[in-house]
Each structure stands twice: as C-alpha cells, then as structure tokens.
Amino acid sequence: MIYLQLFYEFFKTGLFAIGGGLATLPFLYDIARNYPWFSESTLADMLAISQSTPGPIGINMATYAGFDAGGIIGSLVATTALVMPSFIIIIIIAHFLNKFRESKQVEAVFYGLRPAVTGLIAVAWFEVINISILTLSKFIDTKNIVNMFDYKALILFIIVFFMSRNSKKHPVVFLLIGAIVGILFKL
C-alpha cells in the first residue's frame, strides 16, 4: 500500500511541479504534512543533501523520501513516479512536435505557466528560509521577534552569501564551507 501512495504522490508532484527541483518543494511539504514518511525538518535536511549531491534536486529528493518511506523499492517507486509524467509528456510532444511548433495556443499556455513556476519557486524559497533561518511559528507563539531567528544559520548564510558574491571560486567550495560550518554549529 505504501508503494501505491508513494507512486501517487510523486506522480502528482512530477505532473504539476513544472519548473525544476525547487518547484517540487511545495508538493513535498504537503506530503510531509499528510504522511508520516518524513517531517518538515527532515525535508530541510533532504534539500541540503539534494543540493550538495550530483543530479537534479527533485529526483534526489524523491529518491531520498522514497527510501525514507519504503526502503530501496520505495526510492525506485518515488523516483520513477516523479520522472514518469515528464517522460510521457515529452514522448507525446515529440510525436506532435511539428503541430506544436507553430501553435499560438501552446505558446499562450507556456506564457501563462511562467508566473505559476515563479510562484512555486517563491513558495519553495520562503519555506526553506522559514525552516533554516527563521521560524514564523515561534514569533506567533511568543510575539517576540528575537525568538524567531536561528542566529547560527543566519550568520552562516550571511558569511557564505557575501563570500560568494565577488568570488571566482567554484560553488562546490562554498557548499563545503557551509557543510563544515554547519557541522561545527551542530557540535
């Protein structure tokens, strides 16, 4: 039963999360709220791992979440389900490519999808900030703005952000710096 649920949820995510890995985050938060497979805080860890490992973020997260929920078979089911809608759509589009190439309706649909993708990525950005740097629920509970910040994470973000702005170093260097400082903060 868990494999059917994994397939359904990640197929739905793959079908509607247009715009890449970060666009899958709102769907993954919904899964975290509705199923016991992983928590929202685990999702933040999954995002960190997915961004620092090779491959697309969405696929890495589906593999991780599927493994967390159902082992190796769960990871295969979740990853396959996430990729399957895109695979099917690409096959259909490739078959009818010449008809789609000049279609004003298809052009209008893609024009309309741009703001939706931007919105999905903005929600994902807000959720990541909410989990990693500030927690709005703490502010709501205590009415004290000071309590809602994770100062260690905020300091780490500021340091890495400003170091990377004018640097010619490879992004992997900053991922490693962030990982090392994050581990040191956890000790």
HEC profile for 91-147? HHHHHCHHHHHCCHHHHHHHHHHHHHHHHHHHHHHHHHHHHHCECHHHHHHHCCHHH
- Reference 89, options 20, 15, 7; nearest CA is 15
Does residue 10 contact residue 81 with C-beta atoms inside 8 Å? yes
118 contacts: CB under 8 Å, gap ≥ 6: 19
pLDDT, position 187: 65
pLDDT at res. 96: 75
Whole-angstrom Cα distance, residue 31 to residue 36?
9
Confidence tier at 162 by pLDDT (50, 70, 90): confident
N residues, the chain: 187
| pLDDT of residue 63 exceeding 80 | yes
Does residue 97 carry a pLDDT above 70?
A: no
Give the span between the Cα atoms of 25 and 17, in whole angstroms.
Answer: 9
Task: Look at residue 112 and tell me whether its pLDDT is greater than 80.
Answer: yes
CA dist., res. 184 & res. 176, Å (int): 12
User: Poorest-confidence range of 25-34, 116-125, 148-157?
Assistant: 148-157
**Mean pLDDT, the chain, whole residue set:** 80
Q: Which of 50-64, 70-84, 170-184 has the highest mean pLDDT?
A: 70-84
According to DSSP, the residues that pair with 149 across neighbouring strands are 134
* pLDDT given at position 37: 81
Cα dihedral angle (174, 176, 177, 183), rounded to 10 degrees? 140
Q: Is pLDDT at 83 greater than 80 in this prediction?
A: yes
Over residues 149-169, the mean pLDDT reads 77
SS3 64: helix
Q: For a pLDDT cut of 70, what percent of the chain falls above it? A: 88
Higher pLDDT: 125 or 79? It is 79
